[in-house]
A and B are shown apart, each in its own frame.
Chain A
Amino acid sequence: MRIVCPFCGERELGEFTYLGDAKPVRPEAGASEDEVFDYVYLRDNVAGQTSEYWYHGGGCRAWLKVTRNTLTHEISSVEPAAGAGATKVGA
């Protein structure tokens, strides 16, 4: 598996670190216990197309949002992750 970093080009997997599913959104401060539980612990754990965060620690150190198929490891898109490292992305 290789990831095409939008800043550095195609690089081998060892340069990247996986953070996890990009779908869960951190609840607001006043969120209920159920919402926090859901965010921290429950996962869709999709078999197929999924969107996830990867960190390019061995390269430009940007956070990336990667669309990948968990059944085949095929990557269909890589883009800078908005929010995480947004200022760097915009620069």
Chain B
Amino acid sequence: MKYSIFSLARAALSGHKNWQRTWRDATPKDRYDVVIIGGGGHGLATAWFLASEYGIKNVAVLEKGWIGSGNAGRNTTIIRSNYGLPGNTGFYELSMKLWERMEQDLNYNAMVSQRGVINLYHSDAQRDAYARRGNTMRINGIDAELLDLAAVRKMIPFLNFDNARFPVQGGLLQRRGGTARHDAVVWGYAHAASALGVDIIQNCEVTGFVREANGKVTGVETSRGKIGAGKVGMAVAGSSSRVAAMAGLRLPIESHVLQAFVSEAIKPLIPGVMTFGAGHFYVSQSDKGGLVFGGDIDGYNSYAQRGNMPVMEDVCEGGMALMPMIGRVRLLRQWGGIMDMSMDGSPIIDKTPVDGLYLNAGWCYGGFKATPGSGFVFAHLLARDVPHEEAARFRLDRFRTGAMIDEKGQGAQPNLH
């Protein structure tokens, strides 16, 4: 169905009892041109771009749970393109531009809200680093503004500017950054992809690969039977190592848990997204009024989808350092998502050494903002068998060749990124 003000009025007049399902709950066919493993944001976006941009409509998306049950429903909903390294800069801006037209493209309200993202700095060295990053962004046609203390005071007057250890000195602002409604993003892609003929198959867990004698992947074994495929794309977030292992691959990835937090709802306070550069704390306010915030990963391998206390304490301390008045706000919910932490902190979008198997993995913290861009370039790779120019550096072999993209400059250890 097509959403419009008239469809809304019609549904309202009939007591909201006649809304149709927004996507078909498909049963698997014997064979597809492309099978995507993983019905999260990236997998669904890939399927939609395959159908809409590259004309490949015989596509299935296999999801082991239900749409929105994985990391798509477990993130802090921030979108931005303030990256400084070649490879990242162009890719995240491509993604940002796709966010800006997503709602029109999908005919779905994803509540994309460009309220601005500000990264605060607390030292001269950090100011210089942000100035440099901002310059890199502007050279590449991306908006960035370096704010001094007076400008930050005007914009966010309630911060603790007198913090003795980490005084706020200014910030790097990207006004086009902001947030989007995470559930609506997956629902929107599912809605639009399904309308173009893509089969979205829920409760369908992949348990193995079907392979020819020469090793080529020609399908997947699933909890709902065998499904043949011309090509298989993996977009399974924190489970990449597990799925790749079924094809005999070892990846430069560890799975870690990242926690996120929501407070009780309060009146509008935080104008956009803020990050506390001295620690690791980021916060925004949802449209319902809850403060949504997070910090570091827990720092050890985990598939448990729940975190532990020390990081919870650390995150809350970061929040208190920045805004002491939130100490009276109660924490409402906390959850953990499992992510691929790659060895350099950057994603991998590439063919694998296994013929017919394609990989979209290693998103570390940053998977949500990348959703449309990731889908677009992965669909390009699956359709054309060559990487999209904006994702050409996200190679699987970059660790072997030394062409790493270490945005944070931390070295080859996943729990530092």
How far is the CB of A49 from the nearest CB of chain B, in Å? 12
Is A18 at the interface (CB under 8 A from chain B)?
yes
Asked whether A70 lies within 8 Å of B301 as measured between CB atoms, the reply is yes
Q: In the complex, A72 Cα to B400 Cα: how many Å?
A: 33
Asked whether A52 lies within 8 Å of B300 as measured between CB atoms, the reply is yes
Q: In the complex, A18 Cα to B413 Cα: how many Å?
A: 11
Asked whether A43 lies within 8 Å of B251 as measured between CB atoms, the reply is yes
For A40, list chain B residues within 8 Å (CB). Answer: 343, 399, 412
Q: In the complex, A1 Cα to B254 Cα: how many Å?
A: 19
Closest to B397 in A: A37
Interface-central residue, A33, A44, A46, A47, by most chain B CB under 10 Å: A47
Is B13 at the interface (CB under 8 A from chain A)?
no
Asked whether B242 lies within 8 Å of A44 as measured between CB atoms, the reply is no
Contact code string A58-87 (vs B, CB < 8 Å = 1, else 0): 000000000000111100000000000000
Q: A20-B413, A52-B300 are in contact. Are A14 and B254 (CB under 8 A)?
A: no
Q: In the complex, A72 Cα to B412 Cα: how many Å?
A: 26
Is A91 at the interface (CB under 8 A from chain B)?
no
Asked whether B250 lies within 8 Å of A13 as measured between CB atoms, the reply is no
User: Is the contact region of chain A dominated by helix, strand, or loop, or is it mixed?
Assistant: mixed
Q: A13-B308, A18-B300, A70-B303 are in contact. Are A45 and B412 (CB under 8 A)?
A: no
Asked whether A37 lies within 8 Å of B303 as measured between CB atoms, the reply is no
How far is the CB of A21 from the nearest CB of chain B, in Å? 7
For B313, list chain A residues within 8 Å (CB). Answer: 14
For B302, list chain A residues within 8 Å (CB). Answer: 70, 73
Asked whether B250 lies within 8 Å of A43 as measured between CB atoms, the reply is yes
How far is the CB of B118 from the nearest CB of chain A, in Å? 30
For A72, list chain B residues within 8 Å (CB). Answer: 304
Q: In the complex, A12 Cα to B310 Cα: how many Å?
A: 9
Indicate which residue in A13, A17, A45, A50 contacts B253 across the interface (CB closer than 8 Å): A45
For B304, list chain A residues within 8 Å (CB). Answer: 70-73
Asked whether B250 lies within 8 Å of A70 as measured between CB atoms, the reply is no
For B412, list chain A residues within 8 Å (CB). Answer: 40-41
How far is the CB of A27 from the nearest CB of chain B, in Å? 15
Is B309 at the interface (CB under 8 A from chain A)?
yes
Asked whether A12 lies within 8 Å of B309 as measured between CB atoms, the reply is yes
Is B167 at the interface (CB under 8 A from chain A)?
no
Asked whether B255 lies within 8 Å of A13 as measured between CB atoms, the reply is no
Restricting to B242-261, which residues have a CB under 8 Å from any CB of A?
Answer: 242, 245, 250-255
How far is the CB of A32 from the nearest CB of chain B, in Å? 12
Taking A45-B253, A47-B241 as given, write out 17 further A-B residue pairs in contact, using a Cβ cutoff of 8 Å, ordered by the A residue number: A20-B254, A21-B301, A37-B399, A41-B343, A42-B252, A43-B252, A43-B253, A44-B245, A44-B250, A45-B241, A45-B251, A45-B254, A45-B255, A46-B301, A47-B242, A70-B255, A73-B304
Which residues of chain B have a CB within 8 Å of any CB of chain A? 241-242, 245, 250-255, 299-304, 306, 308-310, 313, 343, 399-400, 412-413, 415
24 contacts between A and B (CB under 8 A): A1-B308, A12-B309, A14-B309, A17-B299, A18-B300, A18-B415, A20-B413, A37-B400, A40-B343, A41-B252, A41-B399, A42-B250, A43-B252, A43-B254, A44-B250, A45-B242, A45-B251, A45-B255, A47-B241, A47-B303, A50-B301, A52-B300, A70-B255, A72-B304
Instruction: List 3 tightest A-B contacts by C-beta distance, closest first.
Output: A45-B241, A14-B310, A18-B300
